[in-house]
Amino acid sequence: MVSSGTRTESSADRGGGKGFAAAEEGRSGGTERSRSRSSGGCSSAASGGSAAEMAEMGWGRWYGRKELEAATEGFSRGNVIGEGGYGVVYRGVLGDNLVVAVKNLLNNRGQAEKEFKVEVEAIGKVRHKNLVGLVGYCAEGFQRMLVYEYIDNGNLHQWLHGEVGPVSPLTWEIRMKIAIGTAKGIAYLHEGLEPKVVHRDVKSSNILLDKQWNPKVSDFGLAKLLGPGSTFVTTRVMGTFGSFPDVPYNISCSYVAPEYASTGMLNERSDVYSFGVLMMELISGRTPVDYGRPNGEVNLVEWFKGMVANRRSEGVVDPLIETQPSIRSLKRLLVVCLRCTDLDSLNRPKMGQVVHMLEGDEFPYRSVSHYIFLEFN
Ligand SMILES: Nc1ncnc2c1ncn2[C@@H]1O[C@H](COP(=O)(O)OP(=O)(O)OP(=O)(O)O)[C@@H](O)[C@H]1O
Ligand SMILES: [Mg+2]
């Protein structure tokens, strides 16, 4: 059962959380709040960083293991929020009462502390209202932990696929809000940063939600930075996917763009594909792969495209949505789904364009002639 009950106040409720809330438009660089936190005493001795290095960070702080141990009541089971491919996530309360999520990364002996710091610093500076903010990290010996702002209303996967009763609390309007916010967060990673950031693991469990259903994209911190205009093969060595040793083992295969699965090459267009799958999931309430369904319905993308092609578009809407969407609004999201999952990556829109399409500024009825089958009766 998905619970909407909070164990803590939201960042907005905390008053002092305005620094994050104010990041309406994304910006790179520490918020006022995170700057003042970084100057408010740190555990440089414990984490091995010098004051000069910390000053350079300018966005958050380093935490000693002891500090995070205290925050999470000794990494107790009761504080475990969940576990993903990279490690266990704990809820924690820091000394200044800031509620955080501590991701204890799996033992990562291969990664030098310096390399880790460089990566963490790059993502720590990223601030946007639709991205989960990183407030600091811990690197002690082989220990690697990331400290995030705590998002208090679960993740999209839980709300779409958990036990929510006969009517989903996610109305069509809320789903549109989630779609637009998520698109904005990813668009910022792709188009608002230099160098751009490719997420690489866009999926429903990485879309966290607050009490107002604002989506916050998480785990972009585990992406690699791309140089301008380049496509590259990732060098992660944590594990393997298929016959490509460079593709992370825990990549969520069902969201993976076809060209990514077959070549291991990735760029922001593979994120766009994953976003398209995520949108199909959001509309239909179905998981990307569901072996419990009859033949022809196991693979969401296949089933979804078939339904639209057969003019059965209204049949893709989640039966748990009580009030049906308007045809115009449904069409708008369907076009986004189809264009983002185009097998030819070059035909996919950029995320900035997707935001406009979702907001209704740009609705390419005419320009996309092969989608005219979207016409309803
Ligand atoms: N900042 C956060 N605030 C609140 N809950 C969080 C936060 N970050 C992660 N979680 C929760 O912790 C749990 C584990 O997350 P984690 O990212 O480790 O796993 P995942 O998203 O399922 O898989 P992956 O490792 O591929 O991202 C999830 O339930 C997630 O919603
Ligand atoms: Mg995650």
pLDDT by residue (tens digit) across 19-32?
222 233 454 443 33
Residues 6+ apart with CB under 8 A from 2: 154, 158, 159, 162, 163, 164
- How many whole angstroms separate alpha carbon 128 and alpha carbon 189? 9
Name the pTM for this structure: 0.81
* Mean per-residue pLDDT over the chain, rounded: 78
Residues 6+ away with beta carbon under 8 Å from 27: 127, 128
Using the mean position of ligand 2's atoms as its centre, give its distance from the Cα of residue 82 in Å.
9
Average pLDDT over residues 174-198: 95
Three-point CA angle 93, 59, 16, nearest 5°:
50
Q: Give 10 Cα–ligand 1 centroid separation in angstroms.
A: 17
pLDDT at residue 244 tops 90: no
Nearest atom of ligand 1 to the alpha carbon of 148: 1
Q: Please give the pLDDT value at position 225.
A: 30
Residue, of 367 and 254, whose pLDDT is higher: 254
- pLDDT at position 369 over 50: no
What percent of the chain is modeled with pLDDT above 90? Answer: 56
- Is residue 122 classed exposed, middle or buried when 0-12, 13-18 and 19+ CB atoms within 10 A define those classes? middle
Give the annotated binding-site residues. Answer: 103
**Ligand 1 contact via 147 beta carbon (within 6 Å):** no
Indicate the SS3 state at residue 155. strand
- Report CA dihedral (23, 204, 278, 243) to the nearest 10 degrees: 110
Q: Which ligand 1 atom is nearest residue 88's CA? A: 18
> Is the per-residue pLDDT at 16 higher than 60?
no
Tally the residues of the chain. 377
Of ligand 1's atoms, which has the minimum distance to the CA of residue 152?
4
Question: For ligand 1, what atom is nearest to the CA of residue 205?
Answer: 21
Instruction: Give 84 Cα–ligand 2 centroid separation in angstroms.
Output: 6
Higher pLDDT, 374 or 358: 358
Q: How far, in Å, is the centroid of ligand 2 from the Cα of 278?
A: 14
Place of tokens 């705590």: 150
Nearest listed ligand to the Cα of residue 81: 1
Instruction: Please tell me the number of the ligand nearest to residue 158's CA.
Output: 1
DSSP secondary structure letter of residue 248: -
Please indicate whether residue 82, judged by its CB atom, sits closer than 6 Å to ligand 1. yes
> What DSSP letter does each residue of 7-19 carry, written as one string?
SS--TTTTSTTHH
CB of 132 closer than 6 angstroms to any ligand 1 atom: yes
**Residue 222, ligand 1, Cβ within 6 A:** no
Exposed (0-12), middle (13-18) or buried (19+): which is 376, by Cβ within 10 Å?
A: exposed
Segment 77-106, tens digit of pLDDT? 999 999 987 789 999 999 999 999 999 987
Note the pLDDT tens digit of each residue in 198-235: 898 899 999 999 999 999 999 986 745 333 333 333 33
Q: Give the DSSP letter string of 261-286.
A: HHH-EE-HHHHHHHHHHHHHHHHH--
Residue 212: the pLDDT is 98
In terms of Cα–Cα distance, which of 39, 38, 40, 34 is closest to 17?
A: 34
- Say yes or no: CB of residue 208 within 6 Å of ligand 1: yes
Burial of 280 (0-12, 13-18, 19+ CB in 10 A): buried
Q: Is 251 in the pocket of ligand 1 (CB under 6 A)?
A: no
Per-residue confidence at 327, pLDDT binned at 50, 70, 90? very high
Mutate-to-test residue for ligand 1 from 75, 205, 256, 274, highest number of ligand atoms within 8 A of CB: 205
Calculate how far, in angstroms, residue 82's C-alpha sits from the geometric centre of ligand 1: 6
Provide the pLDDT confidence category of residue 108 given band limits of 50, 70 and 90: low
Q: Which of 8, 72, 89 to mutate to test the pocket of ligand 1 (most atoms within 8 A of CB)?
A: 89
Given this model, what pLDDT does residue 221 score? 63
In the structure, what pLDDT confidence band is assigned to residue 260 with cuts at 50, 70 and 90? confident
- pLDDT number for residue 119: 78
Mean pLDDT, residues 36-51 taken together? 38
Domains and CATH numbers, the chain: 25-149 (3.30.200.20), 156-376 (1.10.510.10)
**Binding site membership for ATP: which residues?**
103
DSSP readout, 83-143? EETTEEEEEEE-TT--EEEEEEEPP-TTS-HHHHHHHHHHHHTEE-TTBPPEEEEEEETTE
Regarding the beta carbon of 156 and ligand 1, being less than 6 Å apart is answered no
Catalytic positions are: 201
